[in-house]
A and B are shown apart, each in its own frame.
Chain A
Amino acid sequence: MDKQTKLELEKTALKARMGIIEGIHAAKAGHPGGSLSCVDILTYLYFKQMKVDPKNPKWEERDRFVLSKGHAAPALYAVLAQRGFFDEKELLSLRQIGSMLQGHPDLKKIPGVDMSTGSLGQGISAAVGMALSAKHFGNNFKVYAVLGDGEIEEGQVWEAAMFAGNHKLDNLVIFVDNNNLQIDGTVEEVNSPHPIDKKFEAFGFETVILADGNDFEQIEEALNKASGSKKPVAIIAKTVKGKGVSYMENAVNWHGAAPNDELYEQAMAELKDALAKMN
């Protein structure tokens, strides 16, 4: 990846991070930690990887994306806005009455959202269904999904993984956003899903460990490593929960809380400062 491309992606992700914070602050509710941990992956997918057309969000041959960890909706919305699916101003209506931006992704209401998600463990099955549909009906699109590391404690994830592996759905790429924190503590404290890569491998996936899932070069490298796989791909992305806002980083209390005005100003100042340094 050349320097300019990387810089542009980093700027886009910073703007998306601001969108996340602004939306959650305005809503006085939402999930900043897990949004900030996966927003770089989403940015890469929507700006470098996926075949999409913001002018034609229902284009039949588009690649599909399923945010299985639906509570990271602010990240998806902010990236979709950056990509031009809708106006950035919409982000301030997050979770408000009358807003299309529901607390969790809604395919009926939001341009660019391919699947309604929110109840954990269900999105991956839908992604598997989309990948199967493409194979069965002869479409060439690929399907990407992002799951949480806490989410994979759900049994349905493994039902879906078993099916995807058995059917060799090589048009499916899933990311596990391994920020290592869930509501009640670290994933190890709660009910450890580790070793994640070995589990997916056993279910018939090609697995890639992505050492820094908040680094664009490494995200690209992981996807390149997986391309050409004859199996479904699981990329285990080590990420930092709350990435980019100092007081939210690796802090479990920012899983599902909105910053007050003071902390909002601090977060925005940090992000603006980071963006200014890039310009």
Chain B
Amino acid sequence: MSEVKNVATRVGYGTALVELGKIRDDFVVMDADLAAATQTGMFKKAFPDRFYDCGIAEQNMMGIAAGIAATGKKVVVSSFAMFAAGRAFEQVRNSIGYPHLNVIIGATHAGISVGEDGATHQCCEDIALMRTIPGMTIINPADEVEARKAVYAAMELDGPVYMRFGRLAVPVVFGEDYKFEIGKGVELKEGSDVTIIATGLMVKEALEAYELLKSEGISARVINMATIKPIDKDIILKAAKETGAIVTAEEHSVIGGLGSAVGEVVGEEYPVPVVKLGVYDTFGHSGPAAKLLDEFGLRAVNIAEKAKKAISLKK
């Protein structure tokens, strides 16, 4: 892990859009006055005629996207997670989700790591909101490589996709040979005592937690769960059966996110302890992203603690 590059997942998103723009012209990209931040600005610069700025009007943007998709074309829309999933929730639900239209929603600046902007912009509810929409696919990439590959995969999908990207530059954990598949969790470390299922920037923390636990003689399995819906039941149930305890880690509310999704699968099909690490039903506040992640307990050391708790709960 020497010389680890730090790149925000939103950069992978913007990069992939430009790459895709060079090989296909059957889609347009839209933003709501945040192109420079969401990184759709990269696409705007490369293909100014294929980019539309809706201005600060996210609800209308979702509706326009639905209309474009209803004519059989592909469309990518972008805003911050707070506004894409939050403000425009009902438009996403009724205009995009209900007719199951091919719209890619690229939502950036998700989670507490937005940092200085504070609680109004730190969306920790978006996965929960989007999970409730029937037929919505949700992808939360762990690093820049996975973000890029996920955009390619989303472009091939039939139906709406919510893609969650971060503002903060985070370590690149995957090589270019990493294979991404929608709906498939990936086992990154083998282990037998407990399984850590992580998503987004918590994947890198989970890999560090693996080392911490190893030094204490605990064998932890680590799974990257980039697709939160549809959730990979098989890999979860295999982990439940083989390790008997699960910890989930996400930069999102513990209500309705990855932890809930995993808990639902395990609770209904093979009950074992599921301990959730995430944001505990509270709003964020302003501060540097790294300090906030420390303060909110979204670190490897916190995952390791929860892993031990999960193991202690085994019957």
Give me the interface of A with B, judged by CB distance under 8 Å.
60, 64, 66, 106-108, 114-116, 118-119, 121-134, 136-137, 139, 155-156, 159-160, 162-163, 167
Contact = CB atoms under 8 A, between A and B. Distances in A.
Nearest to A129: B67
Nearest to B94: A119
B128 interface: no
Contacts of B55: 159, 162-163
Given A133-B73, A136-B28, A139-B71, A126 B95 contact: yes
A126 B66 contact: yes
B72 interface: yes
B98 interface: yes
Given A108-B100, A116-B94, A156-B91, A125 B62 contact: yes
Given A64-B71, A107-B99, A133-B71, A128 B94 contact: no
Secondary structure of the A side of the interface?
A: helix
Interface of B: 28, 50, 52, 54-55, 57, 59-60, 62-73, 75, 90-91, 94-95, 98-100
A122 B71 contact: no
Contacts of A130: 67-68, 70-71
A129 B70 contact: yes
Given A108-B100, A115-B99, A118-B94, A128 B59 contact: no
Q: Which of A115, A125, A133, A162 has the most CB of B within 10 A?
A: A125
A159 B53 CA distance: 12
A119 B90 contact: yes
A229 to B, nearest CB: 20
Given A125-B66, A156-B63, 8 more contacts: A108-B99, A115-B67, A126-B64, A129-B66, A130-B70, A132-B52, A137-B71, A156-B91
A122 B28 CA distance: 20
A6 B181 CA distance: 59
What 10 A-B pairs are tightest by C-beta distance, nearest first?
A129-B67, A125-B63, A159-B60, A126-B67, A129-B64, A159-B57, A133-B71, A130-B67, A116-B99, A133-B68
19 contacts: A106-B98, A115-B99, A116-B94, A121-B59, A122-B59, A122-B66, A122-B95, A128-B63, A129-B63, A129-B69, A130-B68, A130-B71, A132-B67, A133-B73, A136-B50, A156-B63, A159-B60, A163-B55, A163-B60
A131 B69 CA distance: 12
A50 to B, nearest CB: 15
Nearest to A131: B67
B68 A132 contact: yes
Contacts of B54: 159, 163
B71 A116 contact: no
Nearest to B95: A122
Contact of A129 (B59, B68, B98, B100): B68
Given A128-B63, A160-B60, A116 B95 contact: yes
Contacts of A131: 67
Contact of A128 (B67, B72, B98, B99): B67
Given A156-B63, A160-B63, A163-B60, A125 B71 contact: no
Contacts of B65: 129
Please indicate which of the listed interface residues B28, B54, B68, B100 has the most CB atoms of chain A within 10 Å of its own CB: B68
B68 A125 contact: no
A162 B57 contact: yes
A223 B73 CA distance: 29
A122 B58 CA distance: 12
Given A122-B95, A162-B55, A107 B70 contact: yes
Contacts of A136: 28, 50, 68, 73
A61 B99 CA distance: 20
Contacts of B64: 125-126, 128-129, 132, 160, 163
Contacts of A118: 94
A108 B158 CA distance: 14
Contacts of A160: 60, 63-64
